[in-house]
Amino acid sequence: MVDTEQRVVVLASTDELHDDLLRLMDLMDLLISRAREVDVLHFYEFRIEQGPFDREQGPFHEERFGYARRALSSCDAFIYLFGKELTTTDEVNLHHMLAHLRSSAAFILIDKRPQGERDPRILPGRFGFPIQPRLVLPWPSEQQPSHRELLRYLEVHRELKTLGSPGDSASYSWGIDLPPETAPRRPAAPADSPPETAWRRRPASPAPVDQSQAAATKTHASETRQEHHEPSSEALQAPQPGRVYSVWFGTNRKPNHDLSEFLPERNDRITRGRVDVFVPKAHRFAETGTPFWRRLLRFSVRDDHLTVRRIHVLERNVFYAEIRARMDKASKEGDAHALVFLHGFNVAFRNAAIRAAQIGFDLSVRGATAFFSWPSCGDVASYPADEACIEASEPFITEFLTEFAAHCGAKKIHLIAHSMGNRGLLRALHRIAARAEDAANLKFDQIVLAAPDIDRDLFVDLASIFGRHARRTTLYASAHDVPVWISRGIHKASRAGYYPPHTVVPGIDTVEVPDFDVELLGHSYFANAAPLLNDIFDLMRHGSPPQDRQRIERVSDGNQVFWRLRR
């Protein structure tokens, strides 16, 4: 199987995008759990008529190919999912990409073509490949390959673990080993490519050597690493056990020059994509990570912080094809659900991705988790600027929610809006209601309004809109929420997410949240308090009314009736 110290690059042909991604999901689940880093490149992203390195295409495509070159020149294993006959342009693009493949990398081809069209040694076309694959494997005949089949792909002759060392082809009849001597020499790498280390086969078990020889070998290896700019083994940390949880996103933030980050600046369009978030095995329910001193108190020093592994920018059709593939996979286990998270004030893009991943992972969302990130400044002092940004983002939130509901393929879609994000959601629903076609088709299952930082009187006046677009709407409010309490002082008006007074309107279940003391400011209780997350889980899975959910009790205050969550 894949060595946990390795970096694996997967290139997926997207001529049959939907079917490719159905199979790719299982493959990625296996790869990500075993490799140090996994990059997925969709061929669609590199389909440029003038060729991949034509600078007239602009910095956007140049950066994409720059990333591909860097990934291929530093990877330990390259897996190409090959499908239909390539066009001349596609073949030229692929030829240029493979010219940068690291010489010591294991090149494995998974061939989707019919049996009669396969040639394990030469791929069709005028240009061919600059290097032949060491191993060619057929695509499973089933519509969705089982985990066992895909695992056999990775374990064949331990190809990935030994980085392509030859094996006994007789022991695996339906895989085809290519002898090393049949592979042509790779052309010289371009001048801008990083130097490569010489191929060194790693034996299954090291042979004993004397101390002087070991010291000389260690010195030589250290010098080689320094010459080729590779970190020494002492500088490398052991891979952390865990898994990658993917969340899809829409944003009207401006991206940086290489599309690796999104800035607190407004854009005039929506950018869509996927964020791979690493969830360590040490992750605790209802947490995104704890300080070192708190981990010491519970006698654990393992890092439990969720971290962003990679941000993928996707074209619109690729974006929804990935989500539908995830939904198709989830539907085999039951109803496919989707969760959309809309963050609040003082949240940077990466923090929004981590929070969305934590919520989706902890709630065991059976399907896809997505979030919309509006250009919050991510700074407490920029509260007025964030207020202006959420207002300016209303049309983009409207567009994203409308298209997501239409194209994601989920049977049930749930929304969670937090803090200032509730303002954008409320206004977006009113914009949708003004468009007859969208209003008739847009229906969510559960809408959760967590700590809404919105004027109470305005909320009461407009709240009837939630009943038109949701099966059930739940509002969580707390008297221990410091930021919303400060907002009440700034605006000199009551907020819907703070009591007293309680905000109770027909068609919305108002739930009073106690002080769980899970954080200093008491504002992120919706995701950091385990009882509340469990309550949201019951809502999403069963749609239960408050009286049928655990820890919920009925409360009367004069003429008002609401609910209270017990600690």
For residue 180, the model assigns a pLDDT of 36
Query: Do the beta carbons of residue 509 and residue 474 sit within 8 Å?
Result: yes
| 103 vs 385: which has the higher pLDDT | 385
> Which runs of E-coded beta strand occur in 139-241?
176-177
Residue 205 has pLDDT above 70, yes or no: no
What pLDDT band is residue 198 in, cutting at 50, 70 and 90? very low
Give the C-alpha separation, 60 to 62, whole Å: 6
Pairing of β 37-42 and β 7-12: parallel
Joined together, the tokens standing for residue 67 give 């990333």
For residue 452, the model assigns a pLDDT of 98
Residue 213 has pLDDT above 60, yes or no: no
Q: Which CATH number characterizes residue 553's domain?
A: 3.40.50.1820
Q: Residue 247: inside a domain, yes or no?
A: no
Give the C-alpha separation, 245 to 314, whole Å: 17
Residue 195 has pLDDT above 90, yes or no: no
Which residue type is seen at 150?
L
| 430 vs 42: which has the higher pLDDT | 430
What pLDDT band is residue 26 in, cutting at 50, 70 and 90? low
- Total structural domains in the chain? 2
Query: Do the beta carbons of residue 374 and residue 389 sit within 8 Å?
Result: yes
Q: Which of 176-190, 354-368, 440-454 has the lowest mean pLDDT?
A: 176-190
Pairing of β 337-342 and β 412-418: parallel
- Residue 442's contacts (CB-CB under 8 Å, 6 or more residues apart) are 401, 402, 405, 432, 469
Q: Residue 249: inside a domain, yes or no?
A: no
Which residue type is seen at 22?
L
> Which runs of E-coded beta strand occur in 185-326?
242-255, 262-280, 307-314
Give the C-alpha separation, 196 to 514, whole Å: 59
Q: Which of 166-175, 344-353, 381-390 has the lowest mean pLDDT?
A: 166-175
Q: Which residue has the tokens 């022991």?
A: 171
What angle (nearest 5°) sits at the alpha carbon of residue 167, between those of residues 162 and 169?
145
Joined together, the tokens standing for residue 495 give 């907020």
What pLDDT band is residue 19 in, cutting at 50, 70 and 90? low
> Which runs of E-coded beta strand occur in 283-345?
307-314, 337-342
Q: Which CATH number characterizes residue 125's domain?
A: 3.40.50.2300
Query: Do the beta carbons of residue 157 and residue 134 sit within 8 Å?
Result: no
Query: Do the beta carbons of residue 423 and residue 390 sit within 8 Å?
Result: yes
Mean pLDDT of 474-494: 96
Query: Do the beta carbons of residue 536 and residue 542 sit within 8 Å?
Result: no
Nearest to 384 by CA among 393, 376, 394: 376
For residue 134, the model assigns a pLDDT of 65
Which residue type is seen at 555?
V
Peptide bond just before 124 cis, omega within 30 deg:
no
Q: Residue 438: inside a domain, yes or no?
A: yes
| 216 vs 45: which has the higher pLDDT | 45
Q: Residue 302: inside a domain, yes or no?
A: no
Domain stop point among 160, 184, 208 = 184
Nearest to 259 by CA among 517, 28, 68, 515: 68
> Which runs of E-coded beta strand occur in 281-421?
307-314, 337-342, 367-373, 412-418
Residue 190 has pLDDT above 50, yes or no: no
Q: Which residue has the tokens 């700034």?
A: 490
Joined together, the tokens standing for residue 163 give 């980085």
Q: Residue 464: inside a domain, yes or no?
A: yes
Distance, first Cα to last Cα, the chain:
45
Q: Residue 216: inside a domain, yes or no?
A: no
Q: Residue 109: inside a domain, yes or no?
A: yes
For residue 89, the model assigns a pLDDT of 59
Give the C-alpha separation, 478 to 105, whole Å: 55
Q: For residue 562, give the H/E element and its range.
A: strand 560-565
What pLDDT band is residue 75 in, cutting at 50, 70 and 90? confident
Nearest to 260 by CA among 352, 194, 349: 349
Query: Do the beta carbons of residue 286 and residue 533 sit within 8 Å?
Result: yes
Spell 172-198 as b/e; 16+ CB within 10 A means b. beebbbbeeeeeeebeebeeebeebee
Q: Residue 125: inside a domain, yes or no?
A: yes
For residue 234, the model assigns a pLDDT of 32
Give the C-alpha separation, 511 to 553, whole Å: 9
Domain stop point among 184, 200, 215 = 184
CA 545 to chain centroid: 32
Query: Do the beta carbons of residue 343 and residue 370 sit within 8 Å?
Result: no
CA 292 to chain centroid: 26
Q: Which domain holds residue 366?
A: 334-565
Q: For the chain, give the mean pLDDT.
A: 76
Domain stop point among 121, 152, 184 = 184
Query: Do the beta carbons of residue 22 and residue 328 sit within 8 Å?
Result: yes
- C-alpha R_g of the chain: 26
What angle (nearest 5°) sits at the alpha carbon of residue 322, between those of residues 405 and 446?
30
The per-residue pLDDT for range 501-512, each reduced to its tens digit, is 999 999 999 999
320: left (phi over 0), alpha (psi -120 to 50) or beta: alpha
Residue 343 has pLDDT above 80, yes or no: yes
Query: Do the beta carbons of residue 421 and residue 342 sit within 8 Å?
Result: yes
What angle (nearest 5°) sits at the alpha carbon of residue 210, between those of residues 207 and 213?
95
Would you tell me the crossing angle of helices 17-32 and 316-331 to the nearest 10 degrees? Answer: 70
For residue 27, the model assigns a pLDDT of 60
Give the C-alpha separation, 73 to 197, whole Å: 11
